[in-house]
Structure 1
Amino acid sequence: MNVEKISSKKVSERVGEQIENLIITGHFQSGEKLPSVRELCELFDVGRSAVRDAITTMKGKGLVDVRHGEGTYVQSYDPAQLFRSNMLLPDMKDIEALFQVRAILETEMVKMAAENRTEKDLREMEKTIRRMRTACHEENETLDYHFHKTIAKAAGNHILYQLMEFISSTTQKAMVDFHGYIAEDEAILSNIINQHEQIFENIKLGDGEGSSKVMHIHLEEVKRLMQKSILNETESCL
């Protein structure tokens, strides 16, 4: 079994991450009893409090079941649940990974939308953009979701639409903070809305390649701004 020794920074979190990884990769199976606290201390070369805190966190995520007097057992693993838990307070690495996925999905999805969109889809996209220009930032958050989901719907692939719903739900906390951040700068907000409009115009023209290029530019800009908002929030807490 390959494990890493734990550094002194955020010891319990690092312990939890490694145990979770062992569960994900199948080293610990559903229903299997984890090693004892003492054995985990020896395995990771950490103190008992770090292991106990890690187990408490995993219990809160629904990954393990702590049975008094018996030990800790692995629960059925749900990747969606773990992903949602990890994305509640994303870091730079999370955002980079998320937008890699979004770029793969959405730059191709928008090409499909340009080919398959209906007049009803176009009206819905146009209405959403108009509302973005007058909405408060709380409503803009919802409108942003709706615009991208409308594109997914216009693409005509129900599985792709479900994937977009999943990604949207996992990033809800980050997007709330993000929209609050961009709302403080009218120029940034206007630029984001303009990018949505450019995407829409290319879809309306049936230009799949043009739609894909603008979507890529948009996602790169949103990623940059989200990372900047997280950095600013981190610095304000120091």
Structure 2
Amino acid sequence: MNIEKISKKKVSALVAEQIENMIEDGTFRPGEKLPSIRELCELLDVGRSAVRDALLTLNGKGAVYMKQGEGAFICEFDSTKLFNQTALHAATKNIRELFQVRKILETGTAEAAAIHRSEEDIRILEGILNNPLDGWESDYHFHITITKATGNMILIQLMEYISATMKQAMKDFHCQIRENKETVERIMKQHLYLFEAIKAGDADEAKRAMINHLNLVEELLQEGFLGETSTME
């Protein structure tokens, strides 16, 4: 008979799981101080050593951090911990994969932004567009502001996940087109058209404008990298 033995979890592991569950359900929020060890012992009906071990485990996982003489605090959200950064930066070499993600994500954000944007969001977007598109920073802030205009924290966090790769791609792109005034003007017109659709609350048109914009940028980047490769060969 093959009978699988029932695993016995240490009390400290169960305490760690319970604290994680309370973080997930909002009982404890990012940045807040956890109850003291004594209070946690009373709350969870366990010994001090189990609580101390649980906090060390959670500290190692990045869920809490310890302040000498003050106690344990819930860690703020940090998107960089969700991915292996080496793998992320390696992915920037594959423009197709990056833009596949951007098209899935940003067409949805453009659509949602057109529905949920506030007057303040419109004002910020106008301010970005009124500055000449002479660098990647304004381009990056334009796209991030559209995502923030959705009011959806999950979408915003997803954009933060790929922000490092987005920034690098935008730097490469603007380096590539900076001497081509016709292309720069074309990108500016696409941004303006996308903005007008969002301002008008036209979700379908905002979605179309975003996909057309990303298709063009991907095509130009691919051409640039292929040109560099063939030149080097």
Per the normalisation by structure 1, the TM-score is 0.60
Q: CA deviation at 1:174?
A: 3.1
SS of residue paired to 1:155: coil
Go from structure 1 to structure 2 and tell me whether the alpha carbon gap of 1:176 and 1:99 turns closer, same or farther (over 3 Å shift). Answer: same
Amino acid aligned to 1:125: L
Amino acid aligned to 1:189: V
Aligned position for 1:173 = 168
Aligned position for 1:113 = 113
Q: CA deviation at 1:184?
A: 1.6
Aligned position for 2:56 = none
* Aligned mates of 1:218, 1:126 — CA distance in 2: 18
Aligned position for 1:218 = 213
* Aligned mates of 1:184, 1:169 — CA distance in 2: 25
Contact map agreement 2:91 2:98 (CA 8 A) in 1: no
* Aligned mates of 1:215, 1:124 — CA distance in 2: 18
Contact map agreement 2:136 2:167 (CA 8 A) in 1: no
Cα deviation 1:145-198 (Å, max 9, x = unaligned): 100000000011112112212222123333222111111210001000110000
Say whether 1:101 aligns with 2:101: yes
Map 1:1-238; keep pairs closer than 5 Å.
79-88=83-92, 90=93, 94-133=94-133, 136=134, 140-238=135-233
Amino acid aligned to 2:84: A
When the two chains are superposed, the root-mean-square deviation of aligned CA atoms in Å is 1.7
Q: Name structure 2 gaps, 5 residues minimum.
A: 1-80
Q: CA deviation at 1:78?
A: 6.6
Contact map agreement 2:82 2:161 (CA 8 A) in 1: no
* Aligned mates of 1:185, 1:170 — CA distance in 2: 24
The runs of at least 4 consecutive aligned structure 1 residues that moved more than 4 Å come to: none
* Aligned mates of 1:80, 1:203 — CA distance in 2: 34
Q: Work out the number of aligned pairs and report it.
A: 153
Identical aligned pairs, as a percentage? 41
* Aligned mates of 1:83, 1:143 — CA distance in 2: 26
Q: Name structure 1 gaps, 5 residues minimum.
A: 1-76
Per the normalisation by structure 2, the TM-score is 0.62
Q: CA deviation at 1:112?
A: 0.8
Amino acid aligned to 1:198: Y
* Aligned mates of 1:219, 1:163 — CA distance in 2: 17
Please say which of residues 163-172 and 186-195 is displaced more in the overlay: 163-172
Q: CA deviation at 1:143?
A: 0.5
Contact map agreement 2:147 2:156 (CA 8 A) in 1: yes
SS of residue paired to 1:143: helix
* Aligned mates of 1:125, 1:157 — CA distance in 2: 17
* Aligned mates of 1:128, 1:221 — CA distance in 2: 21
